[in-house]
Chain A
Amino acid sequence: MSSVASVHSLWTAAAGAPGKIPGPHIEYAQLSPTLIVLGAAVLGIMIEAFVPRRSRYYSQLLLSLVALAAAFAAVIGLAAAGFGSSKAHVAAMGAVAVDGPALFLQGTILLVSLIAVFTFAERRLDPAAHGKHVDSFAAQPAAVPGGAAEQAAVKAGFTTTEVFPILLFAVGGMLIFPAANDLLTLFVALEVFSLPLYILCALARRQRLLSQESALKYFLLGAFSSAFLLFGVALLYGYAGTVTYAGIAEVVSDGAKQIDPALAGTMSNDALLLIGGALVLMGLLFKVGAVPFHMWTPDVYQGAPTPVTGFMAAATKVAAFGALLRVLYVVLPGMRWDWRPVMWGVAIITMLGGAIVAITQTDIKRLLAYSSIAHAGFILAGVIATSKDGVSSVLFYLGAYSFVTLGAFAVVTLVRDAGGEATQLSKWAGLGRRSPLVAAVFAVFLLAFAGIPLTSGFAGKFAVFKAAAQSGAGWLVVVGVISSAIAAFFYIRVIVLMFFNEPKAEGPTVAVPSPLTSTAIAIGVTATLVLGLAPQYFLDLAGHAGVFVR
């Protein structure tokens, strides 16, 4: 009697008295960052239900900030207790890894979301409607834009304070995503952070049609790609008979030595492994925004409310690259020679495609979207290195890049005209004459994107390209440097536009933000300069965090 038949009897007939089912052993303390954030999100929903409308904004803001700060403290505590290095292990019955890369990325995501909450909460930029301050989100997103219901909602001073718990749910998913240690957790985490983002995209106060359109595109394409990821998971499960990363990696590297003859048809069938691996990578590359899975990026970045775009551009990229690294380095290291050429190709077309198409853009948000695609390509160059240096350079790059992105989008929210944000690039002409400070800050971010020395962008790019070159990907680095040069062209073009062109008469004004957005931008600039001038401490930190647990 084969083992297959005996296990089948588990569900075909009562195979004897049901034994005791051992309860799972969950290390709650080690999962505390995620649990704090998700708990606060649930609490936020309760606040929406029970707290009177006038005090919701402050209670939600306070709750979000406290929860994210507490979760960050928990990450620091775990790292200080040695879970990032010596005590790294797999928690929650093999579902979640607590190790260096996971803690580093979780810390980055939490800091980024903390700053994103500041930009979400900004209420001074839009002119007050009916004497009440309003934020970037629709008064009542379910109402038809411009309809009677919406006008009544605006008049009553409603605001969508639900954005804070929705943001927290997304952050919770993002915290699990890079730490997921089996493919089921990976898929569930992907959906947990994607679904709130789809909603957030549809909530813009101004230009709601664009906003809803971006949500529709993001949702349909995101669901499409996650279906591919799920089918890949199914095929990998068919290949290995398990969905844990370590289990699949074992079957990949050893082949299955003593397998049941009944399983010989599926177990360790290379077609399942190759197609399944490719589909899972496809789903992850979609979230990363790599060419040829980048089509959603410009539309979604342009249409979504700008604070959401900033959050999404920064935090999603960190989480998705974390998951991509773990899948490639923990699950599929045994088939490195199969995926490396593919990723080479993807990295090259992503770098070149993003940089070249960005040149033709006339909208600042679309320009930043294509620049984020190009940056995904640069980060992929570090992913391909398949070395410890590769991992830590990617970690550092993600940390540096996310603060620059968040700051840049925060500046975009400030430049406004009668129709809301003035995202047309032509309207930015001469901004440096009118508001030198804002233009100078934006120039710092652009220089960091371009990778000019003394900014964090240079330190990150240098680390990534160095790791790639050391692993023998010399040509990739050459392509990377060329596309950096192309990218530098359009970043510098914006700077020239801001400082050396005459301002137009009907140009936009720069709104004076509340301390919230000012703080967000100030943190962005500080991080950009500190990581650029003295990157060594943070490079060491990323270097120590560069080992995955199996």
Chain B
Amino acid sequence: MNPVYYLYLAALLFTIGAAGVLIRRNAIVVFMCIELMLNACNLAFVTFSRLHGNLDGQIIAFFTMVVAAAEVVVGLAIIVTIFRTRHTASVDDASLMKL
């Protein structure tokens, strides 16, 4: 099977993630869409690694996973404190500051 198909899949997943960030209103779902984008990047890295025949891409995928995990820790902490204050996780409600 042609590995380039995996690149198309990665691009598709990335687009779905990016569209989700822009469309969805719940902070948790927005955050999950960002994680989807990061995982799409991982798929692209691994596929390119296979195409090029070197291991760099696979190593980078591990780094991305660690970074994504750290991001989850910080992100969920922020979302949870906001939820406890406002009893909602909607990003539309976080609008105290406007131009």
**Chain A residues packing against B (C-beta within 8 Å):** 3-8, 10-11, 141-142, 144-145, 184, 187-188, 191, 195, 198-199, 202, 208-210, 212-217, 219-220, 223-224, 227-228, 230-231, 233-235, 237-238, 241-243, 260, 262-263, 265-267, 298-299, 302-303, 357, 360
Instruction: Please state if B78 and A219 are interface contacts (CB–CB under 8 Å).
Output: yes
Q: Collect the chain B residues with CB atoms within 8 Å of residue A235's CB.
A: 44
Instruction: Kindly list 10 other residue pairs between chains A and B, CB separation below 8 angstroms, not including A4-B51, A202-B78, A210-B96.
Output: A7-B54, A8-B53, A184-B60, A216-B82, A220-B27, A231-B40, A234-B10, A238-B52, A241-B54, A265-B4
From DSSP, what is the main secondary structure of chain B's interface residues? helix
Given the interface pairs A195-B71, A199-B74, A217-B94, the reply to whether A144 lies near B44 with Cβ below 8 Å is no
Given the interface pairs A195-B70, A195-B74, A267-B52, the reply to whether A227 lies near B34 with Cβ below 8 Å is yes
For the complex, give the distance between the alpha carbons of A263 and B52 in Å. Answer: 7
Q: Collect the chain A residues with CB atoms within 8 Å of residue B9's CB.
A: none
Q: Collect the chain A residues with CB atoms within 8 Å of residue B38's CB.
A: 227, 230
Q: Collect the chain B residues with CB atoms within 8 Å of residue A231's CB.
A: 14, 37, 40-41, 44
Q: Collect the chain B residues with CB atoms within 8 Å of residue A208's CB.
A: 85
The 7 A-B residue pairs with the shortest CB-CB distance, nearest first, are A4-B53, A227-B37, A7-B53, A238-B48, A234-B44, A241-B52, A230-B41
**Nearest chain A CB to B91 CB, angstrom units:** 7
Q: Collect the chain B residues with CB atoms within 8 Å of residue A228's CB.
A: 18, 37
- Point out the residue from A198, A209, A230 that lies within 8 Å of B96, measured CB to CB: A209
For the complex, give the distance between the alpha carbons of A183 and B63 in Å. Answer: 12
- Point out the residue from B7, B41, B52 that lies within 8 Å of A227, measured CB to CB: B41
Interface size class of B (residues with CB under 8 A): 35 or more
Provide 20 A-B residue pairs closer than 8 Å at the C-beta atoms, listed in order of the A residue: A6-B53, A142-B81, A191-B70, A199-B74, A212-B85, A214-B97, A216-B78, A220-B75, A227-B18, A228-B18, A230-B38, A237-B48, A237-B56, A237-B60, A238-B48, A263-B53, A265-B51, A266-B4, A267-B52, A299-B97
For the complex, give the distance between the alpha carbons of A219 and B70 in Å. Answer: 12
For the complex, give the distance between the alpha carbons of A215 and B37 in Å. Answer: 21
**Nearest chain B CB to A120 CB, angstrom units:** 19
- Point out the residue from A10, A144, A191 that lies within 8 Å of B55, measured CB to CB: A10
